[in-house]
A and B are shown apart, each in its own frame.
Chain A
Amino acid sequence: AQSVSQHNHHVILSEAASLELGCNYSYGGTVNLFWYVQYPGQHLQLLLKYFSGDPLVKGIKGFEAEFIKSKFSFNLRKPSVQWSDTAEYFCAVNSGGYQKVTFGTGTKLQVIP
């Protein structure tokens, strides 16, 4: 069974600091990887996704993620965070030609002005 681990549960940063959120998955075959974001009071929305090709994926609002197959990782990065990035971030994976998507436990990011 596929599983996703997010090691940081709560991250607090000052504005302009760099961000890296960790995500590791367990499935060894072909995977599709996602980062979703949930802003306070809003629905979950897609930040970026990886299916194939260039392992460095760029998403909305200046976010990017790198797929490292050898490390089973898909870490999310942003060079300079803003107060508006305060949200909860979820890594997700779907694999094996199956429709089911498995989510991690989420990381709450708080950006202090």
Chain B
Amino acid sequence: DVKVTQSSRYLVKRTGEKVFLECVQDMDHENMFWYRQDPGLGLRLIYFSYDVKMKEKGDIPEGYSVSREKKERFSLILESASTNQTSMYLCASSPVGTHMNTEAFFGQGTRLTVV
């Protein structure tokens, strides 16, 4: 079974703090993704990575950065947390398939509250 593990289920941070969310996958997938999930807005892509040290902005990258130093690990960084970044954060991974016919596998999510 593919496993995508996010380091924390719940986090509470203060405004202005630097926050690291970690994600590890064990299936040697090339692609990794960070989404945030908010009620009524669905999943919105923050950043994704298709290879080590490679990254691309998603739809809402402002206020976030990412790091992918190893294939299995993809970190999301909130440089200076703000209350509007309170959300559920989902990490996902997928293999590179022919004609992009691959599915994404998701972690359990990290519920981040910024106070």
Q: Of A43, A46, A92, A104, which contacts B108 at CB under 8 A?
A: A43
Question: How many A residues are at the interface, by size bracket?
Answer: 20 to 34
A102 CA to B48 CA in the complex, in Å?
12
A97 CA to B96 CA in the complex, in Å?
11
A contact set with B: CB distance below 8 Å: 6, 9, 32, 34, 36, 42-46, 49, 51-52, 90, 92, 94, 97-106
A51 contacts B101, C-beta separation under 8 Å: yes
Write out the residue numbers on chain B whose beta carbons fall within 8 Å of the beta carbon of A104.
Answer: 42
Write out the residue numbers on chain A whose beta carbons fall within 8 Å of the beta carbon of B48.
Answer: 99-100
Known contacts A32-B100, A98-B100: A90-B106 contact under CB 8 Å: no
A44 contacts B100, C-beta separation under 8 Å: no
Write out the residue numbers on chain A whose beta carbons fall within 8 Å of the beta carbon of B103.
Answer: 34, 46, 49
A98 CA to B50 CA in the complex, in Å?
10
B contact set with A: CB distance below 8 Å: 4, 31, 33, 35, 40-45, 48, 50, 56, 58-59, 90, 92, 94, 96, 99-101, 103-104, 106-109
Known contacts A43-B107, A99-B31, A99-B50: A32-B101 contact under CB 8 Å: yes
Q: Can you report 17 A-B residue pairs in the complex whose CB atoms are below 8 A from each other?
A: A9-B40, A34-B103, A43-B106, A43-B108, A43-B109, A51-B99, A52-B99, A52-B101, A90-B43, A94-B100, A99-B50, A100-B58, A101-B33, A101-B104, A103-B35, A106-B42, A106-B43
